[in-house]
Every structure is written in structure tokens, then in C-alpha cells.
């Protein structure tokens, strides 16, 4: 691994105008990272990466690098781009356990963070460093949110999240697991108990339906539910995954690892919406891709569908007669939206037409002192986008907290 990473780092041209950095949603200083690494300054490289992106080690594993940093590498125009993600992972993973985050003097103000996904972790770290008394509320038993319960182990080892928890505790952050805000405790309760600012980063955990007959049958499941704990599902031998994004790839590849013999992915269009790399991995694992598949109904025997034909512009030119595709189980993976527990128990919180929390560009919700970012504001997006936006929201929360007693 080390030899591979060093050789990749040596391939970097150290461009004067680094396109790789332009392609990164959080503007990671990639050439400087590589230069420090090659000059035996790994500690400084790791420190720079963490302070630019507190979830650097996670993003190095789960980002869509081929569309971002690596997809913009100038070497990729005529050959293979520098494998930036491997270099970043090597540095940030080695640095994570050596983190020694300093806290400013205690400000004597409580901050509540609801949800411990990418946004919640990022804002917890940034505000704790500024001296605020941060409590992190997590509805499940372990932190991580979508990182732990929505991404398979083979893509993101859960041990990384356990190491993050250790760092949060070292920084003085209190973690309250198995505590769902909007149930026994509400936002009103938090404000009553002296939390001067509240951040909502609860993600999107309500699966979207196809709206066809058969979705309530016993062998039909939703991707976001399946990925929480695949071991409790009995999928049989033949699985159909309806949907073709990255979550669908995670479901398909996980199911094969859990013993399903045949996995078929139904794509409505001519190509998958997942990243090319994830599709390549799925094909290598043995996943079958079927294009132009339009589900009509789910039955006990499988999926009734029509197959679309397309012209050169991708327009549908014809639909086949309905046919049955045999399946022992079906997983629906067509995105998800937010649950409404907090909104339904909190006055003054407005939502968009899609049910997402309405905020301004600084993360202010329509209730004073309550902020939000991540998927619950943007919809299902990438980890790095959640971190990027959450850094801005953390600054806005700090400015707000300076104005309240």
C-alpha cells in the first residue's frame, strides 16, 4: 500500500493551476498535501487535511472521485489520473488517531446537535473547538448516521466511526445515544434547558415509494432500511433492485455478499445514475444490469414490467408488452426524504415543498436559534457536500452565539 501511494504521489505534476482542487467540492489543497507527504511531513499534511475537512478520511473512501478530484487531474486526459483518494486516505487515516484538537476557553454556552451524521460530526467538532459545551443527540445506539447505517462495511469500515467517537469524547463533546428529538424530548425542551443554539442534521431516512401496486408485500423492502442491518433479511436466491444510484449499488453488492445468488438492477433509462466506478465494481461482483425497465406492479412471483426502447437522443420510442421478471425479493432504491418528527413537534419550523427544512444560505431555519444543514436541507447528497455546507453553518452559529446570553 505505502509503495503504491508513494509512487502515485510522485506522478503528481504539481500544476500551477491545479484542476484537481477545482474539482473538489471542499477545495482540498491537493498539491500541498502531496508535497508535504513526499517531503516526509505527514503530520503537517494530516493536520491540513483535517482542518480543511474534518471527515477527510471518510471522504477519501466514499467520494465520487472520478467526477471530482481525480476526474479533473490533467494526467487523466491522456492516461490514468493520479489516485488522489488513496494518497488522502493513507495520510488522513494515519493521522486520525494522532489528533490533538485544542479547545478555546470555555464560553459557558450549551449547544445541541441533533443527528451524528456527516453534518452533525462536523459542526460538533468545530463548535467544541471554539469552547462551546456541545451535546450530540443520536437516535440510534452508535454515532455515524448514514455513514454507519447507510454505507456498507466493505466501502466504509465502521471502525473509522468508532475512532471518530473517541476523538469527539476527547474534545469534551457529550454524546447521548438512543435519544430521538421529537419524541420524549422536543426542541422546546432543549431550549428550556439552556441550549443557546440547536443544530438539526437528521438526514433523510424516509424512503420514497414507486407508487405501484405491491409495495407493501412481505418480500419487498426499501434500500435505506435494508442497509441499516442486512443480516436480518432473508432475501432468497433472486433479488431485483429497482433503482440505479449509488445506494442501489450498495444494496446489490451487499446482497451478493450475504448469499443471494442472482441480483438484477432495474434501470429506467439507458444508463445507471451511479458513478462509473461503483457500476464497475457491481459488475465485477456479478450484478446484472437491465436497462429501460419500467416496473408496473410487484407480485408474489416477481416484478411485472415493461421494457422501453430509446432513440439516439434517449427518448422513449416504444414500450413492450407487460412481462413478469421472477424474483424472491425486491428492494426499492429510488432516493429518500426526511422524516417529520422534529417538524411536527416544533412550532415555527418551516419546510420546503419537498419536506426539507427551509433555511437561508447560512443555515438559519425559520425558528430563531435553530440551524440545519446536510441532507435534511439539501436532500440526499454527498458526504463532502454536507461537510462543506456545515463548515459555513458552524461559522454562522458561532456568530449567533456571540449575540446571546
User: Does the pLDDT of residue 349 top 90, yes or no?
Assistant: no
Range(s) of the chain covered by CATH 1.10.1060.10 = 2-96
Please give the model's pTM, rounded to 2 decimal places: 0.92
Enter the C-alpha cell of residue 12.
503528481
The tens digit of pLDDT for each residue in 98-108 reads 999 999 999 99
Class level of CATH domain 208-335: alpha beta
Whether residue 2 is predicted with pLDDT greater than 60 in this model: the reply is: no
User: 199-253: per-residue pLDDT in tens?
Assistant: 999 887 788 999 999 999 999 999 999 999 999 999 999 999 999 999 999 999 9
Q: What percent of the chain has pLDDT over 70?
A: 99
Domain covering 2-96 in this structure, CATH number: 1.10.1060.10
pLDDT value, residue 10? 95
Tell me how far apart the alpha carbons of residues 59 and 133 are, in angstroms, rounded to a whole number.
27
Q: Tens digits of per-residue pLDDT, 362-383?
A: 999 999 999 998 888 877 788 9
What is the DSSP-derived secondary structure letter of residue 16?
S
Which of 184-198, 277-291, 334-348 is predicted with the least confidence, judged by mean pLDDT? 334-348
Q: What pLDDT sits at residue 185?
A: 95
Nearest-angstrom CA–CA distance, 122 and 395: 12
Residue in 99, 47, 49, 96 with CA at minimum distance from that of residue 69: 49
Return the closest-CA partner of residue 240 out of 267, 270, 201.
267
Whether 221 and 233 have beta carbons less than 8 Å apart is answered as yes
pLDDT at 30 over 50: yes
> What confidence category does residue 343 fall into, taking pLDDT thresholds of 50, 70 and 90?
confident
Please choose, from the candidates 61, 62, 84, 60, the residue with its C-alpha nearest in 3D space to the C-alpha of residue 72: 84
* Residue 35 grid cell: 508535497
**CA–CA separation, 173 vs 181, rounded Å?**
18
pLDDT of residue 97: 93
Q: Where in the chain is the domain with CATH 3.50.50.60?
A: 110-205+338-401, 208-335
Q: Which residue reads 425486491 in cell numbers?
A: 330
Residues contacting 5, CB < 8 A, separation 6+: 86, 87, 90
- For residue 141, pLDDT over 60 is answered with yes
pLDDT at 1: 45
Closest C-alpha among 275, 126, 128, 123 to residue 200: 123
Tell whether the torsion through CA atoms of 397, 398, 403 and 405 is positive or negative: positive
Give the fold, CATH level 3, of 110-205+338-401.
Answer: FAD/NAD(P)-binding domain (3.50.50)
Amino acid at each position: 500500500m505505502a509503495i503504491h501511494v508513494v509512487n502515485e504521489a510522485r506522478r503528481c505534476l504539481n500544476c500551477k493551476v491545479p484542476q484537481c482542487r477545482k474539482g473538489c467540492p471542499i477545495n482540498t489543497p491537493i498539491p500541498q498535501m502531496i508535497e508535504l507527504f513526499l517531503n516526509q511531513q505527514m503530520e503537517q499534511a494530516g493536520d491540513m487535511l483535517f482542518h480543511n475537512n474534518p471527515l477527510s478520511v471518510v471522504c477519501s473512501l466514499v467520494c465520487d472521485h472520478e467526477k471530482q478530484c481525480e476526474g479533473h487531474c490533467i494526467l487523466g486526459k491522456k492516461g490514468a489520473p493520479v489516485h488522489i483518494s488513496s494518497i488522502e486516505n493513507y495520510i488522513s487515516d494515519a493521522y486520525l488517531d494522532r489528533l490533538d484538537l485544542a479547545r478555546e476557553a470555555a464560553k459557558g454556552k450549551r449547544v445541541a446537535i441533533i443527528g451524528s451524521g456527516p453534518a452533525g460530526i462536523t459542526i460538533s467538532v468545530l463548535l467544541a473547538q471554539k469552547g462551546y459545551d456541545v451535546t450530540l443527540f443520536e437516535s440510534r445506539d452508535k454515532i455515524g448516521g448514514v455513514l454507519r447505517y447507510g454505507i456498507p462495511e466493505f466501502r466504509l469500515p465502521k471502525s473509522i466511526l468508532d475512532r471518530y467517537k473517541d476523538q469527539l469524547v476527547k474534545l469534551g463533546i457529550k454524546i447521548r445515544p438512543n435519544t430521538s428529538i421529537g419524541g420524549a424530548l422536543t426542541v422546546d425542551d432543549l431550549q428550556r434547558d439552556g441550549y443557546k443554539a440547536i443544530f438539526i442534521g437528521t438526514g433523510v431516512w424516509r424512503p420514497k415509494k414507486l407508487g405501484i401496486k405491491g409495495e407493501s408485500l412481505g418480500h419487498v423492502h426499501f434500500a435505506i432500511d435494508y442497509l441499516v442491518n442486512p443480516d436480518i433479511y432473508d432475501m432468497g436466491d433472486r433479488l431485483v433492485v429497482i433503482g440505479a444510484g449509488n445506494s442501489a449499488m450498495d444494496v446489490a453488492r451487499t446482497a451478493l455478499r450475504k448469499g443471494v445468488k442472482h441480483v438484477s438492477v432495474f434501470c429506467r433509462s439507458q444508463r445507471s445514475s451511479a458513478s462509473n466506478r461503483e457500476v464497475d465494481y457491481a459488475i465485477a461482483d456479478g450484478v446484472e444490469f437491465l436497462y429501460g425497465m419500467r416496473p408496473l406492479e410487484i407480485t408474489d412471483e416477481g416484478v411485472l414490467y415493461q421494457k422501453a426502447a430509446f432513440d439516439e437522443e434517449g427518448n422513449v420510442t416504444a414500450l413492450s408488452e407487460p412481462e413478469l421478471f421472477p424474483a424472491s425479493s425486491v428492494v426499492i432504491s429510488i432516493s429518500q426524504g426526511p422524516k417529520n418528527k422534529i417538524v411536527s413537534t416544533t412550532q415555527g419550523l418551516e419546510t420546503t415543498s419537498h419536506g426539507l427544512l427551509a433555511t437561508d444560505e447560512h443555515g438559519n431555519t425559520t425558528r430563531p436559534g435553530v440551524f440545519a444543514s446536510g441532507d435534511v436541507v439539501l436532500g440526499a447528497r454527498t458526504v463532502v457536500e454536507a461537510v462543506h455546507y456545515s463548515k459555513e453553518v458552524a461559522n454562522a452559529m458561532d456568530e449567533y452565539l456571540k449575540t446571546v446570553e
